[in-house]
Amino acid sequence: MSVSAEVQLILLIFLLYLYDCFVLAYHNEAVARRLPSGYGVTFPRNNAAFGRRLLMLLPPLTPFYPAYRIVWASCPPPEDAAEAAARIAAFRARDAALFSRLFPGTLLLAAGFLLLVPLGLHFLPALHVLAALPFLYLLIFFQLRQLRRFFAAYPAPPSLRGKFWLLAVESLVCPPCAINLARKVSLNLPLAVDLIAFAEALLPPEACQQAVGGVVERIGEHVLFAEDAEAPQVKQMRDYALRLRQKFHLPEEPSA
């Protein structure tokens, strides 16, 4: 059974989009994502082993919501409430700026490439659909301009500055890749906030408990697979997990 060129193009567009919905996270990373009602945190699966683990950004059809890599500490980070509050406030301001600048264009690009182009290829001659490409490219240029303005207001670290041009070239050469600009940029922005502080400040109580429980579970896995169970760092990890259980009223670890 042969597949028409139009169907192949539609499948290619969706595959390119879905490719950018996957994240490779390190063993001590989670992904904090913006949601309509606040924020959420997702852990990769099989996080006990060292290395990077695959995680899909859910729900997949929300490219306009930024997502951030966030690190959890296996030992207690330095406690400075004022500094943590300032970092949370700075993160929220930067996140709001990125979202507001890229949201309109991302919504239009997603509607164009994921909805209008497939429908047009199905119901209209291909030349009619190709006539819409200049308008989609204008949207991509608009997004890149908005991104430059964002970086002017929130300067990126040197490691990220070069990536702007890579993203620009990628978006212009392969237009469907421009849909996920907000996610690509946000996933590369450094987040100087520990996961526990993030959860405590920005997540609702139930989601906060789940996020802290995920950290405690992974600390337990580190302790379980530690070479020396009596090493000072392992004891510190065990004590930290116990303090988190007590502070956030998590169920006690079942005895062996």
User: What residue spans of 20-115 are helical by DSSP H?
Assistant: 81-111
pLDDT at 256 over 50: no
Q: Which residues pair with 32 in a beta bridge?
A: 41, 68
Q: Which residue has the higher pLDDT, 253 or 133?
A: 133
Residue with tokens 């998590």: 250
Q: Which helix (H) or strand (E) holds 149?
A: helix 133-153
Q: Which residues pair with 34 in a beta bridge?
A: 39
CA 119 from chain center: how many Å? 29
Give the pLDDT score at 48: 47
Computed over every residue of the chain, the mean pLDDT equals: 87
* Cα dihedral 223, 225, 228, 230 in deg (nearest 10): 20
pLDDT at 250 over 60: yes
Report pLDDT digits (tens) over 40-64: 999 987 644 456 888 888 888 899 9
Comparing CA positions, the residue from 37, 5, 41, 31 lying closest to residue 183 is 31
Report pLDDT digits (tens) over 114-123: 888 888 877 7
CA distances for 228 relative to 47, 215, 225, 239, angstroms = 20, 21, 9, 16
Q: Which residue has the higher pLDDT, 136 or 75?
A: 136
